[in-house]
Chains A and B, each alone.
Chain A
């Protein structure tokens, strides 16, 4: 048999029907639902008198609109409250499992899927959310869909898809101290651009990736969408299997053994053909900081804000100028001279336990030097990705480190990643953020976002400006 990529295997296993033009109907095993992109889908089902195909394939939770402060007070904004309540009512009507706002397991969909073992190798998994690519870290075919498709999956358990091309991002060698999965993926986006992955399923491979934890792999796949790829992928190995072992929805007993036998085949065969290969050397990757309004506008922390005069073409030159103006930056400014007003540690990219440990380690080191959150930093937020991440962090005492240093320790949700709730930047405020998008207005109208890793964000909080974490850790 011809060697197949992991993507090929996942695709082949899910084709229900194929049209002559190559469009295929593929079966969907898992469906995550949140409050923002589902109400119109439920409404569509009702309007047409259609039934849900398989309630047991769905897990729902509110995450975008929920407050991260005391939940007992409820949601102040009536429109947000209505959306969250609508999700609850829809889940009840259609018999779905929902981790509601007061459930200890509530959290960002892309954090709770994996931690429940709802996300598993070999499945197709969708959600009305672009960062569904996150789940590809488990060797699952996972991608974001629009609301019409949410309704389509609810009604038919299937989706119409065209096969993607395949890209291998191969990273080799040991990561330098202070360089994380976030820096790898930002470096990839810096290299290929935000449209570089369009039309591709992007598999991350190589010794560096095999050395990453599941948290790190999720960070990579999470941001595959920022490179334009709909899906990110990492092959299954012991790390994947160990992570899943005790998860509530993982198969048990004999089923577990059967599952593991199959999961181990979920790797790209040696010699499998990829349409494009991108190679990086881990030793050359430095901590990354975005300077503009697109994730591809990124430089290493020891670099400078670029000069639009040096842009590769006229369209990009205009984009860079507009970005500098929006960001309130001048060309050639050293990144480490940029001061921040706020710091956000959270989002589906970097709000898992390992991310919080990374950040807390830097904060603790700061405390030992007598540093707390710098005076010019108005607010530093830590928002765990789920209730379970939060309680784990509290068991480890991470919350106390953050609080002692002057951070706010919040309830789980999307929070300032997109500022649909009360957590947001004011016009002109500059933020070091561990999230995934630095678009204009993303964290609040007029807000200025710099994307960084958790350790880099923590360091920016205690210094008040960006610092090279490699120097600080020495």
Chain B
């Protein structure tokens, strides 16, 4: 996993609540058995005017000029600004894969759906919860100013605006540590193998019918 330390990124505002993972990456692209290559299909149904299918040359498809990601001023954005309950619905990890593959490294919203929030951390993508009023303000500033960038510092847990306003955010100590160093979850858990084996031995006694 790519570590996340600090990011100064261009912001793109996606002004909708309850953006679900079906919208982030439509189902026809979930048939892939790979982990990569989902970026061109992030928000596919909103981004293109035609119907997308796997295997198409996405560079040749007609873009929807009204969709915010397609506007010239937001090209190269790495920070996605969103509304409440972002990432709700299906547990598909293809959603963070697609966002990361597109070029996003951080998402800011007043709230996230649980599974999506969790999936982000596994993929070097930082979801940041900020209060409604702050998110509102960031939306206003992003719309008002072309080239609006935010400075995100994970170690300090801060988001700094171009006007030097600083907003703090919360993140679990364990998740933060793993993301800062790009650590492999499974490798770390396997260091606890003895404890897992001890628990399992006890459980085998208590509920033997759950073991073949």
A binds B: yes
Q: Which residues of A contact B (CB under 8 A)?
A: 16-17, 19-21, 23, 25, 27, 29-30, 36-37, 39-40, 43, 48, 50, 56, 64-65, 77, 79-80, 82-83, 86, 120, 122-123, 128-130, 132, 144-149, 151-152, 155-158, 160, 162, 194-195, 198-199, 228, 230, 251, 255, 258-259, 262, 294, 315-316, 318-319, 322, 418-420, 437, 439-442, 445
Q: A122-B207, A149-B122 are in contact. List 16 more A-B contacts (CB 8 A).
A: A23-B172, A36-B92, A56-B211, A79-B31, A123-B210, A129-B91, A151-B186, A155-B186, A155-B189, A158-B189, A158-B196, A194-B88, A228-B114, A322-B16, A439-B20, A441-B26
A228 cross-chain contacts in B, Cβ below 8 A: 85, 88, 113-114
> In the complex, are the beta carbons of A160 and B31 less than 8 A apart?
no
> In the complex, are the beta carbons of B31 and A146 less than 8 A apart?
no
Residue on B with the closest CB to A127?
B91
> In the complex, are the beta carbons of A27 and B186 less than 8 A apart?
no
A-B contact count (CB 8 A): 178
A155 cross-chain contacts in B, Cβ below 8 A: 186, 189-190
> In the complex, are the beta carbons of B210 and A120 less than 8 A apart?
yes
Give CA–CA (A37, B83) in the complex, Å.
27
Give CA–CA (A21, B195) in the complex, Å.
19
Q: Which residues of B contact A (CB under 8 A)?
A: 15-18, 20, 22-23, 26-28, 30-35, 45, 51, 54-55, 83-85, 88-93, 96, 111, 113-115, 118-119, 122-123, 172-174, 185-186, 189-190, 192, 195-196, 199-200, 203, 207-212
Q: A156-B186, A228-B113 in contact; A130/B173 too (CB < 8 A)?
A: no
8 residue pairs, one from A and one from B, having the closest CB atoms: A56-B212, A251-B209, A148-B122, A146-B93, A39-B33, A146-B119, A195-B85, A144-B91
Q: A151-B186, A439-B23 in contact; A16/B195 too (CB < 8 A)?
A: yes
Give CA–CA (A409, B206) in the complex, Å.
44
> In the complex, are the beta carbons of B200 and A162 less than 8 A apart?
no
Give CA–CA (A37, B33) in the complex, Å.
9
> In the complex, are the beta carbons of B30 and A420 less than 8 A apart?
yes
B34 cross-chain contacts in A, Cβ below 8 A: 40
B54 cross-chain contacts in A, Cβ below 8 A: 79
Please tell me which one of the listed residues A48, A146, A152 contacts residue B115 in the complex, with CB atoms under 8 A apart.
A146
A198 → chain B closest CB, angstroms: 6
Give CA–CA (A448, B83) in the complex, Å.
23
> In the complex, are the beta carbons of A294 and B91 less than 8 A apart?
no
Residue on A with the closest CB to B34?
A40
> In the complex, are the beta carbons of A27 and B27 less than 8 A apart?
no
Please tell me which one of the listed residues A56, A144, A145, A194 contacts residue B85 in the complex, with CB atoms under 8 A apart.
A194
B196 cross-chain contacts in A, Cβ below 8 A: 16, 25, 27, 156-158
> In the complex, are the beta carbons of A40 and B186 less than 8 A apart?
no
Residue on B with the closest CB to A294?
B18
> In the complex, are the beta carbons of A37 and B115 less than 8 A apart?
no
- Which has the most chain A C-beta neighbours within 10 Å: B15, B31, B84, B212? B31
Give CA–CA (A27, B54) in the complex, Å.
37
A21 cross-chain contacts in B, Cβ below 8 A: 172-174
> In the complex, are the beta carbons of A148 and B114 less than 8 A apart?
no
